[in-house]
């Protein structure tokens, strides 16, 4: 059996940056690394091409009567820039104290190797374990998984599992396991207002026309109420209130408002009524302005009336909002409220559907929940409690991972997400690292989860 830390070093040395064609060798290196790793474990490996980076599918599928777990991961990493802020070379993994440093150690090479190691240990102990296992490792997660949905559609025959099991999500401390049970969706758009056909002298022409910047400010200011809610008819219509158990789980995490306020460096929270900040991130949708442009941005004064002004807007969505629905509400409100005298152009950008998965035996567990999915949650609860010394906490997160909704839509499968990275792991930033203690506990937990799944049999 291999040493997981040595394997992780070898894996991290493959500089698999999906965004930059310069790193082509690293991408191929990571694909080859995974191919031989899975072959050594006795898996049948397919390197399935997509329009850009292939997906590695490794299967150990013996008997239809066994449960079938699909383990998701991604082999691509973020670019290492800015290089001068790294204390060690990003693609030369280095152990310091209880951490291993390097790009991709936590996102997502370490967490994937946790599961691969667990599978290896399980098979070493019991080569005939009655469990079908498929690894599905994509190479475009860091660039939005653009080809993942079409991959899923074209390869359903390889992906006939019962549920997804994965670790591309976080925990709050090395002592507490977190299971992620939801992520917000997303709608992005840009609005552009055009007034006069060119920029104008504000002395010669000021006072006779609607300034596009003023129109933009009035329009954008109309999109929230003073108490912090989104002021768009229909925006909240489909939002499902969190169940009491969800608020109780969040409370168990012991997050402190004062710490968070200090971390943000703000003088006051601006959170809609009825929700504390930690709840608002997880249970409420938002509309945020991400950028305004228009007029003179340089030093000093320029007496200009700009011809154009624009704003970039993104919304985070929660169940059961849909990107289509929310986009329609926003476009309708903006179109109706746009001041006279300017023309409005709306450009629709990317979107993601919100995702939620409810563990078994809760007030809102779907009646038709797949028994295999329920088994996996129970296996994780048991293994997590044994290894971490207390039960996992089940939390939704504020971010968006669009591929979860794709997995649900195309394969009809839900995901059990065991968190493994910490806030201080510096994902996407210089000096990314992975906590070796968490890695060890993760391997032990995952092996027990897989053992419990095999023991439970086909649900």
Applying CB under 5 A, which residues contact Zn ion?
107-108, 168
CB of residue 78 vs Zn ion: minimum separation in angstroms?
Answer: 9
Pairing of strands 55-60, 132-138: antiparallel
Choose between 168 and 451: whose C-beta lies nearer to Zn ion. Answer: 168
Choose between 75 and 86: whose C-beta lies nearer to Zn ion. Answer: 75
Choose between 107 and 246: whose C-beta lies nearer to Zn ion. Answer: 107
Q: In angstroms, rounded to a whole number, what is the distance separating the alpha carbons of residues 16 and 53?
A: 10
Query: Rounded to 5, what percent of the chain is helix, strand, coil?
Result: 35, 25, 40
CB of residue 396 vs Zn ion: minimum separation in angstroms?
Answer: 17
Choose between 108 and 310: whose C-beta lies nearer to Zn ion. Answer: 108
Choose between 107 and 451: whose C-beta lies nearer to Zn ion. Answer: 107
Q: In angstroms, rounded to a whole number, what is the distance separating the alpha carbons of residues 409 and 415?
A: 12
Q: Could you write out the DSSP letters of every residue in 75-100?
A: --B----SGGG-SS-TTS-EEETTEE
C-alpha distances in Å from residue 153, one per residue of 31, 59, 64, 385, 429: 21, 18, 21, 37, 33
Residue 58 and residue 34 in contact, taking contact as beta carbons nearer than 8 Å: yes
CB of residue 73 vs Zn ion: minimum separation in angstroms?
Answer: 8
CB of residue 200 vs Zn ion: minimum separation in angstroms?
Answer: 48
Choose between 33 and 235: whose C-beta lies nearer to Zn ion. Answer: 33
Choose between 139 and 185: whose C-beta lies nearer to Zn ion. Answer: 139
Give 80's contacts (C-beta < 8 A, 6+ positions apart).
15, 17, 86, 90, 91, 103, 430
Choose between 168 and 425: whose C-beta lies nearer to Zn ion. Answer: 168
CB of residue 250 vs Zn ion: minimum separation in angstroms?
Answer: 23
CB of residue 31 vs Zn ion: minimum separation in angstroms?
Answer: 17
C-alpha distances in Å from residue 358, one per residue of 220, 262, 366, 377, 435: 36, 32, 8, 10, 28
CB of residue 111 vs Zn ion: minimum separation in angstroms?
Answer: 8
Q: In angstroms, rounded to a whole number, what is the distance separating the alpha carbons of residues 26 and 15?
A: 4
Phi, psi of 26 (to 5 degrees): -65, -40
CB of residue 387 vs Zn ion: minimum separation in angstroms?
Answer: 23
Choose between 193 and 417: whose C-beta lies nearer to Zn ion. Answer: 417
Choose between 107 and 444: whose C-beta lies nearer to Zn ion. Answer: 107
Choose between 14 and 108: whose C-beta lies nearer to Zn ion. Answer: 108
Phi, psi of 350 (to 5 degrees): -70, 165
CB of residue 197 vs Zn ion: minimum separation in angstroms?
Answer: 46
Phi, psi of 66 (to 5 degrees): -90, 155
CB of residue 452 vs Zn ion: minimum separation in angstroms?
Answer: 26
Q: In angstroms, rounded to a whole number, what is the distance separating the alpha carbons of residues 215 and 341?
A: 9
Helix axes 4-12, 110-125, angle to 10 degrees: 140
Residue 358 and residue 181 in contact, taking contact as beta carbons nearer than 8 Å: yes
Bridge partners, residue 194, by sequence:
308, 343
State the first-to-last Cα distance of the chain, in angstroms, to the nearest integer: 30
CB of residue 149 vs Zn ion: minimum separation in angstroms?
Answer: 17
Q: Whose CA is closest to 48, among 129, 131, 163, 150?
A: 150
């Amino acid at each position: 059996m291999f040493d997981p830390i040595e394997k992780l070093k070898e894996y991290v040395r493959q500089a698999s940056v999906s965004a930059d064609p310069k790193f082509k060798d690293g991408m191929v290196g990571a694909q080859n690394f995974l191919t031989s790793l899975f072959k050594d474990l006795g898996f049948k490996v397919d390197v399935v091409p997509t329009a850009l980076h292939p997906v590695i599918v490794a299967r150990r599928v013996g008997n239809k009567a066994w449960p079938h777990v699909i383990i998701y991961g991604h082999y691509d990493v973020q670019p290492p820039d800015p290089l001068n802020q790294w204390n060690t070379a990003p693609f030369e993994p280095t152990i310091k104290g209880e951490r291993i440093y390097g790009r991709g150690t936590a996102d997502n090479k370490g967490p994937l190797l946790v599961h691969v190691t667990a599978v290896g240990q399980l098979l070493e102990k019991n080569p005939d374990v009655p469990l079908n296992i498929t690894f599905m490792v994509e190479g475009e997660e860091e660039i939005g998984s653009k080809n993942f949905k079409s991959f899923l559609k074209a390869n359903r025959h390889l992906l006939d599992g019962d549920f997804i099991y994965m670790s591309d999500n976080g925990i709050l401390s090395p002592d507490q396991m977190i299971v992620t049970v939801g992520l917000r969706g997303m709608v992005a758009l840009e609005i552009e207002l055009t007034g006069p056909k060119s920029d104008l002298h504000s002395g010669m022409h000021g006072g006779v026309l609607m300034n596009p910047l003023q129109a933009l400010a009035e329009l954008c200011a109309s999109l929230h109420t003073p108490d912090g809610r989104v002021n768009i008819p229909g925006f909240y219509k489909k939002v499902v209130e969190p169940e009491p158990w969800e608020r109780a789980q969040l409370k168990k995490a012991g997050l402190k408002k004062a710490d968070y306020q200090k971390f943000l460096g703000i003088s006051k929270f601006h959170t809609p009524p009825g929700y504390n900040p930690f709840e608002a991130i997880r249970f409420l949708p938002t509309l945020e302005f991400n950028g305004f442009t228009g007029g003179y941005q340089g030093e000093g004064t320029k007496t200009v009336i700009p011809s154009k002004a624009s704003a970039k807007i993104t919304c985070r969505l929660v169940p059961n909002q849909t990107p289509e629905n929310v986009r329609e509400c926003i476009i309708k409100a903006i179109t109706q409220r746009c001041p006279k005298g300017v023309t409005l152009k709306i450009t629709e950008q990317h979107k993601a559907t919100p995702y939620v998965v409810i563990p078994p035996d809760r007030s809102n567990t779907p009646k038709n929940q797949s028994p295999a999915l329920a088994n996996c949650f129970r296996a994780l609860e048991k293994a997590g409690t044994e290894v971490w010394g207390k039960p996992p906490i089940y939390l939704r997160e504020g971010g968006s991972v669009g591929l979860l909704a794709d997995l649900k839509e195309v394969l009809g499968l839900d995901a059990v997400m065991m968190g493994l990275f910490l806030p201080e792991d510096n994902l996407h930033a210089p000096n990314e690292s992975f906590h070796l203690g968490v890695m060890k506990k993760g391997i032990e937990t995952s092996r027990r989860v897989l053992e419990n799944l095999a023991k439970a049999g086909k649900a």
